[in-house]
Chain A
Amino acid sequence: MLILRCPYCGICADETELTPGGEAHLTRFGPGSTDEDFEAYLFLRQNPKGVHIERWCHTCGCGKWFHAVRCTATLEIFGTYSAQNLRPPPDIIEAIKIRRPDWGGFHK
C-alpha cells in the first residue's frame, strides 16, 4: 500500500484515497503542433524502471491534483509537491540524488 502526503491538505493518504494520473510535467501540444509532438504528448512515456515523476489526485480527500516522485523499482517515495510547480523543487531533487546517485536528472 502506497502512502503519499498530500501537499495541499497535509494528510498522509492511503493509496485507496488517491487516483494515479501518470507521468507529470508533460508539455501539452495542441492544434497546429507537429504530428511528432502531438504523438509524444498523447502517447509516448518515459516509463522508467527507477525514478518516476508522476501525478496523483487526492480523490477521496481534498480533491486536488499534486505531484509525487517515486521509484518504480522499489516503490520508495522521494517526496510530493504541489501541481503549481513546473519542475520538482530543489529539496526533492536533492532527496532523489542522495538515494539514487546515478539518476539522470529532471529533463523536460
Chain B
Amino acid sequence: MKRYSAFAIAREAISRHQNWERVWAAPEPGKEYDVIIAGAGGHGLATAYYLGKNHDIKRVAIIEKGWLGGGNTGRNTTIIRSNYLQDPSAAIYEKSRSLYETISQELNYNVMFSPRGVMMLAQTEHEIRGYRRTAHANFCQNVETEFIGPKRVKELCPIINIAGPRYPVLGALWQPRGGTARHDAVAWGYARACSAMGMHIIQKCEITGICREGGIVTGVDTTKGRIRCNRLGIMVAGHSGVLADMAGFRLPIESVALQAMISEPIKPCMDVVVMANTVHGYMSQSDKGEMVIGGGADGFNNYTQRGSFHHLEETVRALIETFPMISRLKMLRHWGGIVDMTGDRSPIISKTPVDGVFINCGWGTGGFKAIPGSGWAMAELMAKGTSCLADPFSLDRFREGRFIDESVAAGVAH
C-alpha cells in the first residue's frame, strides 16, 4: 500500500493523477479462510482490521452482498458520542470515540472526524432529571460530559429557539468531545487497511447458507460458491435475522426502517450537533453546508429501505419549532436504512448457539459511532473467545434478565 501524503499528491500530479493505486483489491473468493466476516459495513470491516492488527489473524475474507459501506454505514447521520447511561455502554462507546480521535492517522485515511460537540436538549422536567443523572454516571465512567443551562445552549448554538411555546429548551447534556465523521471514509479507510494486510474483500457476493457439521460451522454458501472457514462473524445489521435463520437460531431483534434527509446547502450556521429527543429530531451541518436531519424509526418490520413519509413530517415539524430558520429550507434528498432493534436498545456482541459463529448486531439506530470500538471488541471475542468490552453484550442477557437498558436513558439512540 502506497501511503497518502502531501508528497504523494505531488508525485501523482506528474502523471496527471491517472496512476493512483486502487484503494482495495477485488479478488475472487478463495476456497478456505480462517475467518469469514459476513457484511462489509463498518462493523465487519473494523472487526477484520483489528483481527489482523491486534491478533495477527489475516487469512480473512469479508463477504458483502452489495458494495462495501452501502448498508447503514453509508446511510447514517454520523453522530458520534459516548454519553450513555450504563457502564458497559460507556466503556465500549468511549473506547470507540477515543479510537476515532486517532483513526485517520492510524489508517492513513482521512475519516474527517470532527469533535465539534454534541448537545442533547432537555425540553421537559423529566429530561432534565434524566440528563443530570447521565452526567453524574458519565463522571464516574470517565466520560467527559456536563449538564448546561439554556443560556449556554444559546451561546453554543445561536440558531436555537430557547423559548419554544410547546417545548422550551431547559438545558442540555453537552459532550464537547462528541461530533461527526465522514461515514463512507470510515468504511473505505478500514477496507483499504484490510486489503493491505492481504485480506479478501469480496463484493457482490451474497451469503445464502451457513454450513455446519455437528453443530460447528464449516463454511458458507454464497452466490459465488461454497467457501470454507473455521470461524464466522455475522455483521449484517438489518439482515441479522435472515442470517441467524440460516444458522438455525432466532434473535431478539426486529428490523425496521430509519430515515434521514438533507437540505440544500447553506452558509455555516451551526457548528455543533443538536439532538432533541423528546420531539424526536436531531440536526447537524455537513461540511458542504447541508443540514443533516434525522428522527425516529418506523414502527413495523420492514426490509425495503423505504420508510413512511409521515415520520419525516413529524421530524421536520418537531425541529421547526426549535430551529425556526430551517422552515424555508428545501430538502434535497431523503433515504432509509434497515436498522436492527433490540428490546433494551443495546447491541449484541456474542457467541451463538452454533460453535464458531459469532454475531455482532442490534446496533439499531446508533452504531456508526461504535464502529472502531465494536470492531476492537468483536475481534478480541473472535480471537480469544472472551472480551471484557463485549462480554456484557452477550445474547444470553435476555434470558438472564441482564439488560443494558439504554432505551430509558435516551428515548432515541443514534
Residue ranges of A at the interface with B (Cβ–Cβ < 8 Å): 1-2, 15-16, 19-20, 22-23, 35-36, 38-40, 42-49, 52, 54, 70, 72-75
Contacts and interface: CB of A to CB of B under 8 A. Distances in A.
Nearest to A75: B304
A42 B301 contact: no
Given A15-B308, A45-B253, A48-B241, A20 B299 contact: yes
Q: Is the interface of A mostly helix, strand, loop or mixed?
A: mixed
Interface of B: 239, 241-242, 245, 250-255, 299-304, 306, 308-310, 343, 398-400
The SS class assigned to the B binding surface is: mixed
Contacts of A52: 301
A66 B242 CA distance: 26
A98 to B, nearest CB: 21
A18 to B, nearest CB: 9
Top 8 A-B pairs ranked by shortest CB distance? Answer: A43-B252, A47-B241, A20-B300, A39-B399, A20-B299, A44-B250, A43-B398, A49-B303
B72 to A, nearest CB: 16
A60 to B, nearest CB: 12
A22 B301 CA distance: 7
Given A15-B308, A15-B310, A47 B399 contact: no
Contacts of A43: 252, 343, 398
B252 A45 contact: yes
Contacts of A40: 250
A19 B299 CA distance: 8
Contacts of B309: 1
A16 B343 CA distance: 24
A3 to B, nearest CB: 12
A47 B310 contact: no
Contacts of A20: 299-300
12 contacts: A2-B308, A15-B308, A15-B310, A39-B398, A39-B399, A43-B252, A44-B250, A44-B398, A47-B255, A47-B301, A48-B242, A75-B306
